[in-house]
């Protein structure tokens, strides 16, 4: 059995900013209301010419540079996203061609905000069994394309971005390993957070467009309760499986959905906020990109250091949830 380590990380946020003051001109809301309820002040928005694969490409090249590997050394690409460029080819295949990789496995994963952790868990299994040595795992979203800017309950939350990690087979003497990963879903609550239009159930039609069913719809209050519960449960599973206490964890990377959710998870796990990096003020909720973007920023800011224990937890539409406990 081989061990998996994070060899390198990277992230990319588009240059265009959508601030709360901008949203005040678009929908019935105000800066104070948004900040008090979400902690968000601004979010990054992809340019008209930028698709999810463009954001992912930027994050991927930075992660590969940090890992010191080239495209021909990659054995697989996994992309967590609910906003692909198109239905097919998938984002991973677009990246496989653009990066100049061999004809390797390239697959998208649709698990909403948990998508990156789903991908990291799958990559870890491939590496542990010896099938792959290097897997590029990405979370990338252009949520601005599927947000209803007439709905003040959702349009204030979401932003665009991409984060990436190269997960590699650890060599003798190299620090770092993934201890365990835990994934879950509660499909019975799936209607709390939906993007219904455009699939085989509700193909695109004038009615779908008129009712805005091709845009995100959410029951925020119920999602809040389920999110806190699910992330707490996945975190506890990770700690118990690895026979580790929360005090032994140096950093907890919580999906950046809402500042109140982050604080509630911290309270449930009895973790001081000093151990929980937060960037939601400047990014909003970037779904599958949230955790890898925050992880990369924390590494580059010299917060997360080699040899430290990190717990990552996420929750998203589906309803999905996941955790990954590792030593960086």
Annotation marks residue 255 as catalytic: yes
pLDDT of residue 172: 84
CA distance 302 to 324: 21
The C-alpha atoms of residue 127 and residue 169 are separated, in whole angstroms, by 6
- pLDDT at site 174: 86
Residue 214 designated active-site: no
- Residues 241 and 318: their CA atoms lie apart, in Å, by 25
- The one catalytic residue in 44, 182, 214, 255 is 255
The pLDDT-based confidence of 221 (bands split at 50, 70, 90) is confident
Question: Angle formed by the axes of helices 290-300 and 52-67, to 10°?
Answer: 40
Residues 161 and 210 in one domain: no
Tell me: do 118 and 190 sit in the same domain.
Answer: no
Model confidence at 69, pLDDT cuts 50, 70, 90, reads very high
Q: Are residues 127 and 203 in the same domain?
A: no
Compute the average pLDDT of residues 221-245. 96
pTM over 0.75: yes
Identify whether residues 283 and 201 lie together within a single domain: yes
For residue 316, the number of C-alpha atoms closer than 13 Å in the C-beta half-sphere is 32
Pick from 169, 189, 213: which residue ends a domain? 169
Domain that holds residue 94: 4-169
Quote the DSSP letter at residue 285.
B
198, 311: one domain = yes
What are the CA-CA distances from residue 228 to residues 221, 244, 304 (Å)?
Answer: 11, 21, 24
Known active-site residue 30: no
Give the whole-angstrom CA distance, residue 81 versus residue 121.
15
Q: Please, which pLDDT band fits residue 148 given cuts at 50, 70 and 90?
A: very high
Quote the CA–CA distance of 149 and 180 in Å, as a whole number.
39
Q: 50-60: per-residue pLDDT in tens? A: 999 999 999 99
Q: Does 193 lie in the same domain as 50? A: no
Per-residue confidence (pLDDT) for residue 320, from 0 to 100: 98
**Predicted local distance difference test score (pLDDT) of residue 220:** 87
The enclosing domain of 258 has a CATH number of 3.40.47.10
**Which one is catalytic: 93, 101, 113, 155?**
113
């Amino acid at each position: 059995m081989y061990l998996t380590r994070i060899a390198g990380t990277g992230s990319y946020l588009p240059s265009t900013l959508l601030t709360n003051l901008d949203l005040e001109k678009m929908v019935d809301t105000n800066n104070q209301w948004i900040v008090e309820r979400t902690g968000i002040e601004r979010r990054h928005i992809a340019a008209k010419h930028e698709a999810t694969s463009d954001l992912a490409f930027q994050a991927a090249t930075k992660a590969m540079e940090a890992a010191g590997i080239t495209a021909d050394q990659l054995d697989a690409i996994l992309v967590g996203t609910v906003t692909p460029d198109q239905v097919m080819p998938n984002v991973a295949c677009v990246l496989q061609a653009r990066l100049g990789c061999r004809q390797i496995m390239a697959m998208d994963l649709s698990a909403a905000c948990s998508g990156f952790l789903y991908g990291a868990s799958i990559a870890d299994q491939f590496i542990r069994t010896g099938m792959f040595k290097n897997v590029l795992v990405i979370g990338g979203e252009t949520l601005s394309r599927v947000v209803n800017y007439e709905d003040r309950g959702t349009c204030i939350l979401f932003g665009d971005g991409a984060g990436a990690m190269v997960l590699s087979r650890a060599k003798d003497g190299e620090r770092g390993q993934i201890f365990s990963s835990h994934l879950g879903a509660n499909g019975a609550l799936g209607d709390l957070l939906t993007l219904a239009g455009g699939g085989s159930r509700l193909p695109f039609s004038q009615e779908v467009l008129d009712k805005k069913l091709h845009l995100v719809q959410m029951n925020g209050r119920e999602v809040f309760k389920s999110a806190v519960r699910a992330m707490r449960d996945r975190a506890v599973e990770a700690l118990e499986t690895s026979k580790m206490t929360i005090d032994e964890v140096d950093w907890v990377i919580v999906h950046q959905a809402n500042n109140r959710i982050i604080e509630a998870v911290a309270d449930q796990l009895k973790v001081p906020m000093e151990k929980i990096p937060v960037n939601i003020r400047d990014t909003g909720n970037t779904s599958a990109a949230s955790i890898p973007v925050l992880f990369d920023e924390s590494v580059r800011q010299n917060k997360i250091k080699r040899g430290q224990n990190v717990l990552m937890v996420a929750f998203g539409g589906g309803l999905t949830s996941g955790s990954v406990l590792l030593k960086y």
